[in-house]
Chain A
Amino acid sequence: MKLEFHSLTKCYGSHTVLDGITAQLNFPRALVLVGPSGGGKSTLLRLVGGLELTDEGTIRLDGELVPTHEKSLRLYRSGIGTVFQSWNLFPHLSAMANIMLPLTAVHRVPENEARKRALELLERFHLADHAHKRPAELSGGQRQRIAIARAVVIRPRLLLFDEPTSALDPEMTAEVLEVIADLKAEGRAFILVTHAMNFARVVADEVAFLAQGRIAEHGSAKDFFSTPRTPEATRFLERVLKY
């Protein structure tokens, strides 16, 4: 995958969150975004996902411009799988119905075909027994895995994960990270925002370090974690790897 930013700027009111980012990121499968809180990681991810509009600049995904009009944007979004930190699932629908909804409503997949594909994923994620349950009846880890299944079931060109484990306890975190590692092994491309540095180190092909609305540096996971080039990244890694 190739992700290009050209003078990408995003403001909320007078607050500039992304400050003219220009960068080209190449990653076979896994791009991991790290950086201090408030640095703009979620915002960047939402822009790539077509959930927010840029104020200035452009984003290209594999050379193709991310659209800026609602109608084409909706089409674009429907080809991308997004998993947020929490509250992904619709509370009134069962796990199964949650996974099937994008298929039947957006991608016009027939009901029985959609059910089959949803069930395959549920089995793969060891969740088949929970297919009929509503989100309130599931653990946080199960919920996130179902959210991932819903994002994957449409066979997206790119998956976006925004801190999918930060609301989970260590054991559930492990369950979810396992699924993500599994998706990588399968050949799925994704961008992951995470504070789980050890996992980032293992899973990332490319790492981008985002601080104060800019990509301060990016490079292979090996280089970034062993020899960060900027003082900001060095300090950041020292801080988060300390404990």
Chain B
Amino acid sequence: MTARHRTLNSVISFILGGVLFAGICYAVLRLATWQWDGVWEYRTVFWKGWITTIWISAAALLLSVIFGLTCALARRAPYPAVRWLAAGYVELIRGTPLLVQLLILFYVVADATGLQNRYAAGVIILSIFSGAYIAEMMRGGIESVGKSHLDSARAIGLTRGQTYRYVIFPQAIRHILPPLAGQAASIIKDSSLLSILGIAEFTLAAQQVNSATYSTLESYLPLAVGYLALTLPVSLLARKLEGRFRYET
């Protein structure tokens, strides 16, 4: 990027920032009829929902990494049936909306298997969804390791497992971590859909507050801010990881 481009960029950012700021000021002044008192009464509902969103997302991230890793390894398995199964899972999940998966998996699968805890079901379904995306990231990371290194590993006499442990994973991780951090942000946002299962996470909490107070914006603006408070740091982390790993060889 040239110096001129950079100047142009900052000018544009400055103007856009100014417009946004003016818009917010306008909204604040215009909506003189803010009714925060009613919503303030329900602050513990928000707080509990927010905390629930955090642990649901954390659990789903952990579980989906496990699903993704299993699937990525399965796609490289020596047995074709296992490879097809893994590929089918990825295509099926990535080809359908999360909402549809929630409807089908929760009301059909979770019911049929007697999974009564809706929180567990929600986390598992979210993980199945996110795991398919993570599987693709991991596959990309694993495939980024040059064939010559696998040859070297074989020549030394490493087993398959040792090759993953000492050669593939340490090299793949730098390709996987940045998009994985991005995926963490996606999980946080996607977890809002779990509200339709009656899971009392952040979005459902805001909906409850809204129906109790009839002040829509006052209920939903904190919702947006609450999600941003979670996703912004994660996105920044992703950005930072990307920069770090790009320049290191």
Could you give 10 example pairs across A and B, Cβ below 8 Å? Answer: A74-B154, A74-B157, A75-B157, A84-B152, A87-B152, A89-B152, A90-B166, A90-B167, A106-B158, A106-B162
Question: Provided the pairs A87-B146, A105-B162 are in contact, do residues A77 and B151 lie with their beta carbons within 8 angstroms?
Answer: no
**A49 within 8 Å of B (CB atoms):** yes
A105 to B152, CA, bound (A): 14
A88 to B159, CA, bound (A): 17
**A82 within 8 Å of B (CB atoms):** yes
A90 to B170, CA, bound (A): 10
**A102 within 8 Å of B (CB atoms):** yes
Q: Give 1 or 0 for each of B133-164: 1 = CB within 8 Å of chain A CB.
A: 00000000000001011011111111100100
**A59 within 8 Å of B (CB atoms):** no
Number of interface residues of B (CB under 8 A): 18
A80 to B155, CA, bound (A): 8
Of A74, A80, A90, the contact of B152 (CB 8 Å cutoff):
A90
Residues in chain A near residue B149, CB distance under 8 A: 87, 90-91
Which chain A residues have a beta carbon within 8 Å of chain B's beta carbons?
A: 49, 51, 74-75, 77-80, 82, 84, 86-93, 101-102, 105-106, 134, 136, 150
CB distance from B210 to the nearest CB of A (A): 51
**B171 within 8 Å of A (CB atoms):** yes
A128 to B146, CA, bound (A): 28
Residues in chain B near residue A93, CB distance under 8 A: 170
Residues in chain A near residue B249, CB distance under 8 A: 91, 134, 136
Q: Flag if B159 contacts A87 (CB, 8 Å).
A: no
Residues in chain B near residue A102, CB distance under 8 A: 156-158
CB distance from A231 to the nearest CB of B (A): 36
Residues in chain B near residue A90, CB distance under 8 A: 149, 152-153, 166-167, 171
CB distance from B166 to the nearest CB of A (A): 6
Q: Which residue of A lies closest to B159 (CB)?
A: A74
CB distance from B153 to the nearest CB of A (A): 8
Q: Give 1 or 0 for each of B30-58: 1 = CB within 8 Å of chain A CB.
A: 00000000000000000000000000000
Of B146, B148, B154, B162, the contact of A77 (CB 8 Å cutoff):
B154
Residues in chain A near residue B166, CB distance under 8 A: 90, 101, 105
Residues in chain A near residue B152, CB distance under 8 A: 84, 87-90
Q: Which residue of B lies closest to A103 (CB)?
A: B156
A80 to B146, CA, bound (A): 22
Q: Flag if A77 contacts B155 (CB, 8 Å).
A: yes
Residues in chain A near residue B146, CB distance under 8 A: 87
A102 to B152, CA, bound (A): 11
Q: Flag if B158 contacts A105 (CB, 8 Å).
A: yes
Q: Flag if B155 contacts A49 (CB, 8 Å).
A: yes
Q: Flag if A87 contacts B156 (CB, 8 Å).
A: no
Q: Flag if A91 contacts B171 (CB, 8 Å).
A: yes
Residues in chain B near residue A101, CB distance under 8 A: 156, 166
Give the most central of B153, B157, B166: most A CB within 10 Å.
B157
Q: Give 1 or 0 for each of B199-210: 1 = CB within 8 Å of chain A CB.
A: 000000000000
Residues in chain B near residue A51, CB distance under 8 A: 151, 154-155
A113 to B179, CA, bound (A): 40
Q: Which residue of A lies closest to B152 (CB)?
A: A88
A172 to B181, CA, bound (A): 43
Q: Which 5 A-B pairs have the closest CB atoms?
A: A78-B157, A87-B148, A82-B155, A102-B156, A106-B157
Residues in chain B near residue A105, CB distance under 8 A: 156, 158, 162, 166
Of A75, A91, A106, the contact of B156 (CB 8 Å cutoff):
A106
A78 to B167, CA, bound (A): 16
Q: Flag if A84 contacts B148 (CB, 8 Å).
A: yes
Q: Which residue of A lies closest to B156 (CB)?
A: A102
Q: Flag if B170 contacts A77 (CB, 8 Å).
A: no
Give the most central of B155, B167, B170, B171: most A CB within 10 Å.
B155
